[in-house]
């Protein structure tokens, strides 16, 4: 096991206008499962490849424990990587795939057999050791890819979107298996995904990236409840946080034609003028006439135990804009969900509103 530290690490591709990774500072604790998440092109995979030695570090440094690794070849970094495409040898059986790296390293046959058997037991692959990859399901192939990393007994696991080739149901099952396995092994793990639900359910901490810059790193609950900016607020959460334009005035924040009260300290910090208002779907509820923000329901999505309504501010609704992106997604009781096209009023639950600077996107907090 090991700690991993990025210190101002940057990667600048030739002829690129901006760094793919820009001065990344991140400390990963011994035995921690940390997830790098963000949209395509945000720099998360490049960060992983820099740690693995597959991409050079143009500025800054990367440490495994107290040792700089930027000048070490990949084979000397004592890491193991799991890719999204499994990268299994099709002509070898499962046992051969699991033990191949040890064979190349000239580990004794008896030791290879022992380590392969241990990994197969951990991953429930004992009945498949003589099968070829083509005879396995997607989930079984991914477990073999993980087993190949486990037998090497590395100090750090690196996982690059390992579940992206699995169907939705299998992804849910496999992500819980990976998280449970990592906690049992206790190996420091850096996991890359673009799926924020995957990130929130698996990581001890989650690092959110955008345009090569680390936006925020914290435990999932803090990212959800206290995002540092509008990007993190909109990216973390499913469905996403509602982000709408508002105007701060003497009585509160105006959303459309409705003024919503906010704590005085927060209003004083925000000053007056335009802001971006953040509201989680569960921060809104249906209200009686004249008691909330007027809106029109565009779509109702029923999911059994809960339902989501997609609504437009009433003054936004006309023939041209009704089908446009909704202003609000609201979680409601499916038994009381309104019908599409219904006029509703939305009440903001107390102390649930977040405010962000309209220009920079930075979170506005009470002084």
Sketch out the chain's domains with CATH numbers.
Answer: 4-234 (3.40.50.300), 241-364 (2.40.50.140)
d(CA 210, CA 189): 21
Supply the pLDDT for residue 69: 97
Q: What is the pTM of this model?
A: 0.89
Supply the pLDDT for residue 47: 97
Q: Where are the alpha helices (DSSP H) in 236-342?
A: 264-270
Q: Where are the alpha helices (DSSP H) in 186-340?
A: 196-202, 220-225, 230-235, 264-270
State the burial class of residue 58 (Cβ atoms within 10 Å of its Cβ: 0-12, 13-18, 19+). Answer: middle
Residue 77, CB half-sphere, CA atoms under 13 Å: how many? Answer: 25
Supply the pLDDT for residue 317: 59
What is the mean pLDDT for each group of 10 consecutive residues in the chain (367 residues)? 94 93 97 96 96 96 96 93 84 93 90 91 90 90 88 91 82 85 91 93 96 97 96 93 92 89 88 93 89 90 92 70 71 91 91 94 90
d(CA 163, CA 148): 16
**Over the stretch 85-112, which tens digit does the pLDDT of each residue have?**
778 899 999 999 999 989 988 899 999 9
Q: Which helix (H) or strand (E) holds 135?
A: none
Give the residue carrying structure tokens 């003054």: 315
Identify which of 138, 113, 119 has the alpha carbon closest to the alpha carbon of residue 184: 119
Contact 102, 114 (CB under 8 A): no
State the burial class of residue 141 (Cβ atoms within 10 Å of its Cβ: 0-12, 13-18, 19+). Answer: buried
Supply the pLDDT for residue 319: 46
Supply the pLDDT for residue 241: 94
Largest CA distance in the chain: 78
């Amino acid at each position: 096991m090991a700690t991993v530290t990025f210190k101002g690490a940057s990667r600048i591709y030739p002829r690129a206008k901006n760094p793919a990774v820009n001065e990344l500072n991140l400390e990963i604790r011994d035995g921690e499962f940390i997830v790098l998440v963000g949209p395509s092109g945000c720099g998360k995979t490049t960060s992983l490849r820099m740690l693995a030695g597959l991409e050079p570090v143009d500025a800054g440094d990367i440490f495994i424990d107290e040792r700089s690794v930027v000048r070490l070849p990949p084979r000397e970094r004592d890491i193991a990587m799991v890719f999204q495409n499994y990268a299994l040898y099709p002509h070898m059986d499962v046992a051969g795939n699991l033990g191949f790296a040890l064979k190349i390293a000239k580990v004794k046959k008896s030791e290879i057999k022992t380590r392969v058997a241990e990994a197969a037991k951990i991953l429930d692959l004992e009945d498949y050791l003589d099968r070829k990859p083509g005879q396995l399901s997607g989930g079984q192939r991914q477990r073999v890819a993980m087993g190949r990393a486990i037998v090497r007994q590395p100090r750090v696991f690196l996982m690059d979107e390992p579940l992206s080739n699995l169907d939705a149901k299998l992804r849910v099952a496999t992500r819980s298996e990976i998280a449970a396995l990592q906690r049992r092994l206790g190996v420091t793990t850096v996991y890359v995904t673009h799926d924020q639900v995957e990130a929130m359910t698996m990581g001890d901490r989650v690092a959110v990236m955008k345009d090569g810059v680390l936006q925020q790193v914290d435990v999932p609950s803090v990212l959800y409840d206290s995002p540092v900016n509008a990007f993190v607020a909109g990216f973390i959460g499913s469905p996403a946080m509602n982000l709408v334009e508002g105007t701060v005035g003497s009585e509160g924040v105006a959303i459309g034609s409705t003024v919503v009260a906010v704590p005085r300290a927060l209003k004083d910090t925000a000053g007056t003028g335009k802001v971006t208002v953040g509201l989680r779907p569960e921060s809104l509820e249906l209200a009686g006439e004249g008691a909330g923000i007027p809106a029109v329901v565009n779509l109702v999505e029923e999911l059994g135990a809960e339902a989501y309504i997609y609504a437009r501010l009433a003054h936004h609704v006309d023939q041209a804009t009704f089908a446009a992106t909704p202003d609000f997604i609201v979680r409601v009781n499916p038994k009381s969900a309104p019908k599409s096209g219904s006029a509703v009023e939305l009440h903001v639950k107390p102390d649930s509103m977040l405010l962000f600077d309209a220009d920079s996107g930075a979170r506005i907090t009470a002084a």
